[in-house]
Each structure stands twice: as structure tokens, then as C-alpha cells.
A and B are shown apart, each in its own frame.
Chain A
Amino acid sequence: MIKTLAKSIREYKKASILTPLTVSCEVVLECTIPFITAELVNRIKGGCGMDTIAKLGGLLVLMAVLSLSFGVLSGYTGSTASCGFAKNLRHDIFYSIQDYSFANIDKFMTSSLVTRLTTDVTNVQMAYMMLIRIAIRAPLMLIFAFVMAFIMGGSLAWIFILVIPVLGLGLFLVARSAMPLFRRVFKKYDKLNSSIQENVKGARVVKSFVREDFEQKKFDTAATEVCHDFTVAERIVAINSPLMQFCLYAVMVFVLTFGSYTVISTSGAEVDVGQMSAMLTYGFMILSSLMMISMIMVMLTMAQQSGKRIAEVLEEKSTLENPENPIYDIKDGSVSFTGVSFRYSENAKRNALSDVNLDIRSGETVGIIGSTGSSKTTLVQLICRLYDATEGRVSVGGHDVREYDIASLRNSVAMVLQKNLLFSGTIKENLRWGNKDASDEEMRHACALACADEFIDALPDGYDTYIEQGGANVSGGQKQRLCIARALLKKPKILILDDSTSAVDTRTDAKIRAAMRSYIPDTTKIIIAQRIASVEDADKIVVMDGGKISAVGTHGELLRDNDIYREIYNSQCKAGADDEK
């Protein structure tokens, strides 16, 4: 995990190395300052002249200025290093995801990917900053202060040998018993939040069933549990503070009694008052650095989870790869399936497609029909290589799809997805997804084919109308028409419409099909539909059932020979047939 993450440091290596160095310098200075101050105090007490005071005082000010400079420098490089690292991590995560195949995308949930990109990266950023600043500072300070205490305090410093292990052990035990609790409660906390989300989304359902009280009670139970667990964990952590204070007080009391004993009994020969006061300063330094170390331990273990989750995304390899010597040119829009079987994952029990054989000539219009779950979408997704067939071969333009450059293939095969989306931006910007350099004329033409021009012209800002995220401000039917126009702008050799006109009224649906027939006759059109009407005039209709092709034929043939097709037809047209009688 660390190796994977460390790759993202890149150009911030310099800052990352510089930070611990400057921090070390700062710590050295910080630890020497009390030493020199003690010297100064002693000299003053000894009745030295102003020149000594000025000299030592000047030295101290100089050291403070130096320490300040190093401090500011390390602050700067530290933030550059950690924020830069975070930036690169986000960059790498986002780019990795862009490389994902559909199979990879299916594996992660959108919300979890977004969390990894934001919250988890922020956690790692904080931990990294801690690591290069505090994790260097604290142990160094501990050692330095400890050594100085011995140099200055002599026998007085032995108290630290006693106190450090006590505090260290205490802090360790607290961290060790609190960590698993935190890990567990954070999971519960996530669950609580996802149940809130459920409620926000399902507000209408809650209200229509008058379940407000029920939901409140459910929430109370969950919130109480989370609160209880958090309280237990935090109460354990809350032991840290009195523990630390206990040690500090112990040192104080010790230094005051034993220290004054030593001073008096040796007449200030071994330890003097100045040194005694410096001991207290060092004591504080030592203990607070121990405290910092324990804090870092907790922080790092928490960030570890985030790091793991990020590494998971970065290490995920795309299941699809470009061939070594790809073909860039797609000859025509013919498609053929030979003995194709497909499973969504290796562990899947059932084939989503089994033994599919199908030939589509270039320029043909093909309808695909079948009940939900009959793998219609799965079938067409193999054509533009959104997934690779598990067995068998899918060819486009006479070549196996795996021989093409993926981008070229997908540019020639336009697919309008069932769950389609528009992005925030103007209509024009959305249309340009199909073709970056599309002229206004081309866009108008594509929209006319998709019957989108009418409603766009009726909008106050026309093609410059701003579409909100997900296309929230246009109706379902308008969205579908825009999505078709966007795909048409690619000028594809094959156009796949996956239930893309379900929200379009029937008349417009027919108009769109008619337009395609007359304006893009050379494009192979594959139409998945629920309505018989959408496919009945196709050159051939494929009836899917349970991942297999049940029959292929024209409307008339299927109506005569295929039970499933007839059943679908009847469910939609029975009344019509009644009328005809």
C-alpha cells in the first residue's frame, strides 16, 4: 500500500525531504535555547556584567530568529509537500478511474469512489503532514530533551527514566484498546449516515406511509448505539490527559523536593537553581513529545484505512487493454457474433449470454426485444467492447473487436445508454461530447434528426440553455432526444439505441426512426426497445430470452413463429386487435 501511494509524491519529493531536515534544525535550536537561557540565568545570578548578558541575550535572539526561519520554512515545505501529494493522489485516482473498463466501474460504487477521492485523500494528506513534521519532531525532541536533561540536571534526570516508560506504556495501552473500538464505531457511523441518506431520498415514501414516527424511533435506536460506542471509545482516550498530567506533576514534585535537596546539600555545586528550572522545561518537552507520538500513532492507524482504500483504486487494473498493433480504421458497420458467451464476473454462477450467433450487415436496422433480464443490453455492450466476451468472438467490420484501438472503435460505434446522463453545462457543450469541433450547423442537423430541435428552439436561450447536473431541468423525453443527438454527432458507423426513446412519446419515436432511415441509411442501427412499435419495421428483429437468442426474423415471421414475440405483441396490442374485430 505504502509503495503504491508513495509513487504519487513525484515532484514533491524535494519538499518532502526538506521538511524533516528543517524541522530537525528547528528542534535542535529549540532544545538549545533553554540550555543557554539557564546559562544566562546563572550568569545574571552570579552578578555578571551587562556585556555577558548582551552577548548571551544576542545569541538567544539570533537562535530564535534562526529557529523561526526554520520553523516557517518547514511550515511552507510541509504544506507544499502534503498538499502536493494529495493533489497527485487525487489526480492519480481520477486518471485510474478514467482507465477503468465497465467491469471495473461495476465493482466500485460511485459514492465510495467519491469518498476515496475526497475524505480519504484528506486523511492521508493530514497523516503525511504529520509524518514529515511531527513524526520527526516528536522523537527528536524526546531524545534531545532527554540528553539535555542529563547534561544539565545530572542525577535529577533519573526521574525521566522512571516516568517515560510509565507514560509510554499508558499511552500505548490507551491507543491499543481504543483503536478497535473506533474502527468498529466508524462502521456503525457510516451505516447511520447511509440510513439518513435513505430517508432524505425516500422522503416522499416516508410521508405517504405516514412513517415519520417509525423512522424517528429507528433513527433514535441507531443514533443511541453510535453515541454509546463513541462515548466508550472517547472515554478511554480521555484517560490520556490526566495520565500525562500525572507524570508532569510527578516530575514537578520530584524536582522541587529532590532538586532543592541536591542544590542545598551540595551548596549549588552539582545542580543550581537555573538548572533546576531548566529541568522543568525539559520535563515538559519530553512528556509532550511522548503525547505527540501517541497521537501520531492514532492518526496513522486511522489514515491507514484511508490509504488502503485509495491503494485499492490505484492498484485496480483495467480489464480491457488496447492491442499492441491496433487497427484504427473501421471498414463498415457490419457486426457478427460467433459462439459468444459472457459472464459478468468469474464468480458469476450463470452466463449472462450463452452461445450467441448473430450476423448484422452494414446499414441494417435491427431491433432487439425481450423481457427485463433477458440480457439485451449485455449483448450490445460487447459490440463497442465495453466488456470482452468470455467465449467466442465479436467482430465489427470484419475484424475481432479486440484488434481495434478502443477509442477508434468506440468513436465508430455510438451507443446511447439506457441510464443516460447529461452533464452540467450548456446544451451545446453537451452536444460537443459527440464531436468536439461540431459546427452550429452540424449540431442543428443532429438535433433535427433526433427531434430535439423543436423544444430547444422554444427554450429562451436555445442551444446555450444551461443544463443542470444529470439533466435535471429537462424532461425525460427531452433528455433522451438530446442524448441521441449527441451520439449522432459522432457520425457513427453503428448506432446503438438501448431503450433510448422510452420516455419519448410514440409519435416522436416514429419520427426519429423515420429520420434515421432516410438521413443515415449507411449507418447500422441497433434498437433495443420495449414497444413492439419501435422495432416492427426493422430489417430483422432479435428476440432475447434468458441470455439466449430465441429467434431472429421480421415482424411478420416472428408473429407467426415465435411464442414470446407473440406474447409481447399481444400484451401491447390486444385492445387494438379487439378494436379491429
Chain B
Amino acid sequence: MKSKKTKTFGRLVKTMFSFYPKMLPITLFLILFSALVSSIPSLFMQRVIAVIEEHTALGNWGEAAAKILPMVAILASFYVLSLVSNALYNQMMAIITQGTLKRMREKMFNRMQILPVKYFDANNHGDIMSYYTNDIDTLRQMISQSIPQIIISLTTVITVFCIMIYFSLWLAIIVVVGTFLMTFVIKKVGGGSAKHFFRQQTAIGKVEGFAEEMMNGQKVVKVFCHEKESCADFDRINDELFCEAERANKYANTLGPILNNIGNVLYVVVAFVGGMLFAFNVPNLSIVGFSAMQISVFVPFLNMTKQFAGNINQVSHQINSVVMGMAGTERIFSLLDEEPEQDNGYVTLVNAKEENGELTESDERTGMWAWKHPHSDGSVTYTRLAGDVRMFDVDFGYTPEKTVLHNLSLYAKPGQKVAFVGATGAGKTTVTNLINRFYDIADGKIRYDGININKIKKSALRRSLGVVLQDTNLFTGTVMDNIRYGRLDASDEECIRAAELSGADDFISRLPDGYSTMLTENGANLSQGQRQLLSIARVAVADPPVMILDEATSSIDTRTEAIVARGMDALMKGRTVFVIAHRLSTVRNSDVIIVLEKGRIIERGSHEELIEKQGQYYRLYTGAFELE
């Protein structure tokens, strides 16, 4: 556990060094320097007071001034240096903190982009978000405040202690005893506070989770008049949070006064012992050997005691944020260490043109695509992208223990429309997840235009497939931006044409700002059906040879769908299309209908063939219309 913390910290420091190889060491040096300088005045104090003592009785300022003023001048120049370094390191720290956070965010985001879909399926979205919010916040707190403060305080404590020993060993021993006492208190109280702060975090998480669930279902709560019960549940976890928060804060709040007053008592004890040394003329043991205790040593020593205790107090305030910051850093690194999606494919997708019956690569967009297949002997072959997808004896399970697709074989010839029908959980969506390699098959083979899809670069494979999912995800931006997401270099006209084709143009032109209407919160101002139309337009503009429509029109009512259908037919023409639909009116005109049950194909054929067969499809179909 301990070594893991050290490792995390070491990695953080290393990462920050790699971000700011020059600025970070300079800043650290300036912090150290500034801390050193700010602990030096006690030395000057001692000298000045010694001079004052010498001259007080005579009242001769002129003579004293000659000794004091140069000292003050040196002190002042130290101060100037300290001020400059203070101003500099604070500015640099601001840059380093924000820059580090930015790069951490970017690192996390970039890593997130290359993680497999599995990661997003397996992890709660709220948890993923908290890397970017809570964890980054704790990291900020730690980098910008705790670490500099701890460096300053520790440096001060060490320097001051050295000076103390230099002045008087006896008194320094008292301070050591006091330090032990303070460390003990910090361990007890500070440790308790950290423990409860962690529990408080968990309790906040609970409240957040509960509130989110209830507020998402607020309308259900209202419909069932369940307000009282959910209030009672809330009160219970709210009280829990209160208890933890109260305890955590009690610990944190009392740490300050306790340390402060240990400091006060220490001060008194030092004064008392110092007085005794005076009173009984006990020789003072210092670096220069035994000598009589002097007021010039004594007064700055008292001030140093205060400074010493004050700095230990400062360190203790940072404990919570360091503990939390380390936990946050650990989580951030855990995201950065997530295994990215593997891609061993080498077959790429290129623009092609046909010359003398032979395919060659082209630099321009030709509207014709080809798979570029480099072979081990150095030769390259080109295969025209047609959209022929075949599956041979495919087995698959999301976890190795549970196979959800068994021995699946199917083919889709270029331009064919293949529909998957079956109950929820039959494995329809799973099949499409395998074609675009969101998940990899356990056994069997999938070939795309005759090429094993494992050999195709994932980016090329996915670019050749257009997917419309049931849950539409739109992005913040205009309607036009969202359509253009399908092909970034599409012109406005092309986007509008795609919208017309998919039947989205009608409602878009009725929006207040038409194609320039801003969409936020996943298109919250649109209906689910409108969102689906938009995501169809988005695929239309991408113009892929193969399309996967997973319940793409489920929220478009049948009447609108009938209107959209003509556009959809035009859109699907000449493409290989995989359709998953609940509604049989959507699948009726497919070339092949595949009926799945529990991960197995139980029927396949055209609508007419299947109706004739009077099997499961027939039952489903007639169940819908009850044709007697």
C-alpha cells in the first residue's frame, strides 16, 4: 500500500517533469530559496538585538546605527531576493498547475478515445466523468497548494531548527519534545479526519446516486404518489452524510487550535526554561560552546519557536488534501493505464480508379474505394470495396463463460438488405457489434469482400460501415455540424441533400434557425424520432457501402416512417444493409430475413418464403396483424 503511494507520487512528479522539464526545477528551486530566506531573519534579529542590548544603556544611536543599518541593508536585500523569487514561483506555479491539469485532461481524453467499446459498456458513465471533475479537482488542490506549502513549511522547519541548535541546544531539545507531541496529535487527529473525509466522500456519492435515480424517475414518483417514501429514504442517507461530514469537520477544525496551543505552551515552556537558565546562570550550550545565556539569543529563539510551531500547523492543514489528491491521482493513472483497443489490421481503405480493368490507387476522391492489401512478399493487391459480408461458424460471448451467439453463419451479398428479427436478447445487436469489431469473435471467421476482418485496420473497417443506433447521440453544435459529422469535408449542399434523402429536411426546415439551430444536451429540444432522422442523415452523408440500422426508426411512428420510407429506400439502394427492427413493417421488404432465437439462427429466407414456411416468423408476423 505504502509503496504504491510512493510509486504514484513518483510517477506524478515524473510526469510533471516531462511536461515542464525546465520550469518545474526552477520553480522548485525558487520555492526552496524563498523558504530559506524567510527563515533567516531570526539570525539578524539576534545580531540586532545583541547590538541594541549593548547600546541601550548608553543611548547612543549613532554608534549602534553604524552596526545595525548595514545588517538591515543585507536583510533587506535578502528580502528583495525572496520577494522576487516568491513572485516568480507563484506565477510559474499558476502556469504549471493549469498546464499540468490541461495535459492530464488531454492525456485522459486521448486515452479514452482509444479504449475499446467494452470499457464504456463495463464502466458507469458517472464514474468515468468523475475522473475529469472530482479527481482533477483534488489533483489541482494538491499541486497548486499542498505541495508548495509543504515544501515551504518543511524547509522552514528544518532551517529554523538548525538555527535553534546553533543558538541553544537546551532550548532546542524542548522544541524537539514539542514536535514529537505535535506529530502525535497530527497522526491521531489528522488521521481521523482523513478517514472520515473518505467516508464523507462515499456518503456524498450515495446521496448523489440516490438523488440522481429519484430525480430521473421523478415523474414516476409523482404518478405513484411515492413522495413520502422517497423522502424518508433520502432522509436516512442524508443523515448518514451529515454524521460523517460532522465528524470529519470536527477533527479538521480542532486540529488547528490544538496545534496552535501546543505551540503556545511550547512558547511558554521555552520562555520558562530560558528564564531559569538566566536566573540560575546555567551556561548555554550552543555551536560555539558553552557561554552565558543572552537576551539576544533568547528573544529570537522565542520567535523561532512560534515560527516552528506555525509551520508544523501549516503542514497539518495540507494532510487531507494530500491524501485525497493522492487517491485522485491514483485513479487518474488507472485510467491512463487502461488497455487500449488492439488493432493488428494492415489492410487499408483507399480511393481507387479503374484503368484498363485494373484497380489503382488514387489521391482524389473518386467515389470508388478499394482495400489495399499488402502481402508479406512486398506485393500489394487491391480489392474493390463492394460490401460483401460473410460470417462462418461464429461463436461469441461478452464474457468467456457465457456464449451468446452460437455457430452463426450468414452472408450478405453486395446491395442486399438483411434483416434480423427476434426477441430482445436474441443477439441481434451483438451480430452488428461483431461486424464493426466493437467486440471480437471467440471462434469462426468474418470476411468482408473476401478479406478476414481481423486483417483490416479497424479505422478502415468502420469507415466502410455506416451505423445508426437506437440510442442516438448527437453532439453540441448546429444541426449542420451534426450531419457533417458523417463526413467532415462534406459541403452544406451535400449535407442538405443527405437530410432530404433521409427525410430529416422537413422538420429541420421548420426549426427556428433551420440548419443553423444549435443542439445542446444531446439534442434535448428535439423529439426522439427527430433525433433518429438526424442520425440517419449523418450516415447518409458518409455514404458508406454497408449500413447497419439498429432499431434506427423505432421512435419514428409508422405514418411518418411511411413518408420517410421512400427516402430510406433510395438511401439503401446499392448498399449492403443490415437492419434490426422490432417492427415487422420495417423488415418486410428485405432480401433476407434472419430470425434469431437465443443466439441461434432458427429461420432464414425472404418475407414470402418465411410466411409460406409458417414458422416463427410467420407467428410473429401474424401475431402483429392477427390475420385470420
Which listed segment binds A: B172-180, B320-328, B490-498, B559-567?
Answer: B559-567
Q: How far is the CB of A480 from chain B (nearest CB, A)?
A: 10
Q: Given A68-B261, A234-B98, A253-B79, is A76 in contact with B129 using a C-beta cutoff of 8 Å? A: no
Q: Given A238-B94, A573-B625, A576-B627, is A67 in contact with B258 using a C-beta cutoff of 8 Å? A: no
Contact between B129 and A268, CB atoms less than 8 A apart: no
* B169 CB within 8 Å of chain A: no
Give 12 new A-B contacts, CB below 8 A, not counting A30-B260, A571-B561, A572-B585: A37-B268, A44-B278, A70-B257, A197-B125, A204-B120, A205-B535, A207-B438, A208-B462, A252-B41, A263-B52, A434-B224, A503-B424
* A214 CB within 8 Å of chain B: yes
Contact between A110 and B215, CB atoms less than 8 A apart: yes
Contact between A105 and B227, CB atoms less than 8 A apart: no
Contact between B218 and A105, CB atoms less than 8 A apart: yes
Contact between A505 and B219, CB atoms less than 8 A apart: no
Q: What are the residues of chain A within 8 A of B248 when measuring CB–CB? A: 79
Contact between A219 and B106, CB atoms less than 8 A apart: yes
With the chains together, A49 CA to B105 CA distance in Å?
Answer: 66
* A520 CB within 8 Å of chain B: no
With the chains together, A216 CA to B105 CA distance in Å?
Answer: 11
Contact between A201 and B556, CB atoms less than 8 A apart: no
Q: What are the residues of chain A within 8 A of B51 when measuring CB–CB? A: 260
Q: What are the residues of chain A within 8 A of B91 when measuring CB–CB? A: 235, 238
Q: How far is the CB of B426 from chain A (nearest CB, A)?
A: 10
Q: Which 6 residue pairs are nearest across A and B when measured between Cβ atoms?
A: A71-B257, A75-B253, A202-B473, A79-B249, A227-B102, A571-B562
Q: What are the residues of chain A within 8 A of B87 when measuring CB–CB? A: 239, 241-242
* B165 CB within 8 Å of chain A: no
Which listed segment binds B: A299-307, A393-401, A415-423, A442-450?
Answer: A415-423
Contact between B559 and A564, CB atoms less than 8 A apart: yes
Residue of B nearest to A414 (CB): B223
Contact between A421 and B558, CB atoms less than 8 A apart: no
With the chains together, A298 CA to B225 CA distance in Å?
Answer: 43
Near B by CB (< 8 A), chain A positions 461-484 give 469-470, 475-478
Q: Given A84-B242, A372-B529, A373-B527, is A227 in contact with B475 using a C-beta cutoff of 8 Å? A: no
Contact between A117 and B207, CB atoms less than 8 A apart: yes
With the chains together, A49 CA to B113 CA distance in Å?
Answer: 77
* A143 CB within 8 Å of chain B: no
Size range of the chain B interface in the assembly: 35 or more
Residue of A nearest to B524 (CB): A109
Q: What are the residues of chain A within 8 A of B611 when measuring CB–CB? A: 579
* B410 CB within 8 Å of chain A: no
With the chains together, A26 CA to B219 CA distance in Å?
Answer: 51
Q: Given A100-B218, A265-B61, A571-B558, is A53 in contact with B109 using a C-beta cutoff of 8 Å? A: no
Residue of B nearest to A53 (CB): B275
Q: How many residues does chain A have at the interface if contact means C-beta atoms less than 8 Å apart?
A: 167
Near B by CB (< 8 A), chain A positions 11-64 give 26, 30, 33, 37, 40-41, 44-45, 47, 49-50, 53-54, 57, 60-61, 63-64
Contact between A469 and B213, CB atoms less than 8 A apart: yes
Contact between A421 and B562, CB atoms less than 8 A apart: no
Contact between B220 and A410, CB atoms less than 8 A apart: no
With the chains together, A50 CA to B278 CA distance in Å?
Answer: 10
| Secondary structure dominating the interface of B | helix
Which listed segment binds B: A87-95, A164-172, A326-334?
Answer: A87-95
Q: What are the residues of chain B within 8 A of A338 when measuring CB–CB? A: none
Contact between B215 and A57, CB atoms less than 8 A apart: no
Q: How far is the CB of A495 from chain B (nearest CB, A)?
A: 12
Residue of B nearest to A23 (CB): B257
With the chains together, A477 CA to B551 CA distance in Å?
Answer: 14
Contact between B620 and A506, CB atoms less than 8 A apart: yes
Max chain B CB contacts within 10 Å: which of A76, A205, A245?
A205
28 contacts between A and B (CB under 8 A): A33-B267, A40-B271, A63-B264, A74-B253, A79-B246, A90-B207, A100-B218, A110-B218, A198-B475, A198-B522, A205-B469, A205-B485, A208-B436, A215-B113, A216-B113, A234-B98, A264-B60, A417-B223, A421-B217, A423-B213, A469-B209, A470-B213, A503-B424, A506-B624, A510-B626, A530-B558, A572-B624, A572-B625
* A83 CB within 8 Å of chain B: yes
Near B by CB (< 8 A), chain A positions 95-126 give 95, 97-102, 105, 109-111, 113-114, 117-118, 122, 125
Q: How far is the CB of B278 from chain A (nearest CB, A)?
A: 6
**Of B93, B132, B295, B557, which one neighbours A238 at CB under 8 angstroms?**
B93
In the complex, per-residue mask of B426-446: 1 if CB is within 8 Å of any chain A CB, else 0: 000000000010100000000
Q: Given A87-B241, A110-B212, is A580 in contact with B473 using a C-beta cutoff of 8 Å? A: no
Which listed segment binds B: A1-9, A146-154, A272-280, A356-364?
Answer: A272-280
Contact between A94 and B109, CB atoms less than 8 A apart: no
Contact between B72 and A257, CB atoms less than 8 A apart: yes
With the chains together, A122 CA to B53 CA distance in Å?
Answer: 55
Contact between B625 and A576, CB atoms less than 8 A apart: yes
Q: Given A83-B246, A575-B585, is A505 in contact with B558 using a C-beta cutoff of 8 Å? A: no
* B602 CB within 8 Å of chain A: no
* A209 CB within 8 Å of chain B: yes
Q: What are the residues of chain A within 8 A of B463 when measuring CB–CB? A: 209-210
Q: How far is the CB of A395 from chain B (nearest CB, A)?
A: 19
Contact between B207 and A242, CB atoms less than 8 A apart: no
With the chains together, A278 CA to B52 CA distance in Å?
Answer: 16
Contact between A507 and B48, CB atoms less than 8 A apart: no
Contact between B302 and A210, CB atoms less than 8 A apart: no
**Of A49, A79, A371, which one neighbours B557 at CB under 8 angstroms?**
A371
With the chains together, A268 CA to B59 CA distance in Å?
Answer: 8
Contact between A67 and B279, CB atoms less than 8 A apart: no
* B208 CB within 8 Å of chain A: yes
Contact between B238 and A91, CB atoms less than 8 A apart: yes
Contact between B295 and A194, CB atoms less than 8 A apart: no
Contact between B223 and A197, CB atoms less than 8 A apart: no
Contact between B215 and A242, CB atoms less than 8 A apart: no
In the complex, per-residue mask of B545-572: 1 if CB is within 8 Å of any chain A CB, else 0: 0000000001111111110000000000
Q: What are the residues of chain A within 8 A of B575 when measuring CB–CB? A: none
* B336 CB within 8 Å of chain A: no
Contact between B59 and A264, CB atoms less than 8 A apart: yes
Q: Given A41-B299, A83-B242, A208-B462, is A203 in contact with B132 using a C-beta cutoff of 8 Å? A: no
* B363 CB within 8 Å of chain A: no
With the chains together, A113 CA to B241 CA distance in Å?
Answer: 18
* B5 CB within 8 Å of chain A: no
Contact between B238 and A94, CB atoms less than 8 A apart: yes
Residue of B nearest to A227 (CB): B102
Which listed segment binds A: B229-237, B283-291, B386-394?
Answer: B229-237
Q: Given A90-B238, A273-B299, A567-B559, is A71 in contact with B260 using a C-beta cutoff of 8 Å? A: yes
Q: How far is the CB of A574 from chain B (nearest CB, A)?
A: 8
Q: What are the residues of chain B within 8 A of A351 when measuring CB–CB? A: none
Q: What are the residues of chain B within 8 A of A203 when measuring CB–CB? A: 115, 117, 120
Near A by CB (< 8 A), chain B positions 95-123 give 95, 97-99, 101-102, 105-106, 109-110, 112-115, 117, 120
Q: What are the residues of chain B within 8 A of A209 when measuring CB–CB? A: 462-463, 485-486, 538, 542
Q: What are the residues of chain B within 8 A of A60 when measuring CB–CB? A: 264, 267-268, 271
Contact between A267 and B125, CB atoms less than 8 A apart: no
Contact between B250 and A371, CB atoms less than 8 A apart: no
* A379 CB within 8 Å of chain B: no
Contact between B117 and A53, CB atoms less than 8 A apart: no
Q: Given A203-B117, A245-B86, is A264 in contact with B562 using a C-beta cutoff of 8 Å? A: no
* A72 CB within 8 Å of chain B: yes
Q: What are the residues of chain A within 8 A of B529 when measuring CB–CB? A: 372-373
* A140 CB within 8 Å of chain B: no
Q: What are the residues of chain A within 8 A of B300 when measuring CB–CB? A: 277
* A568 CB within 8 Å of chain B: yes
* A246 CB within 8 Å of chain B: yes
* B465 CB within 8 Å of chain A: yes
With the chains together, A26 CA to B256 CA distance in Å?
Answer: 12
Q: How far is the CB of B322 from chain A (nearest CB, A)?
A: 19
Contact between B52 and A260, CB atoms less than 8 A apart: yes
Q: Given A41-B302, A209-B485, A241-B90, is A531 in contact with B82 using a C-beta cutoff of 8 Å? A: no
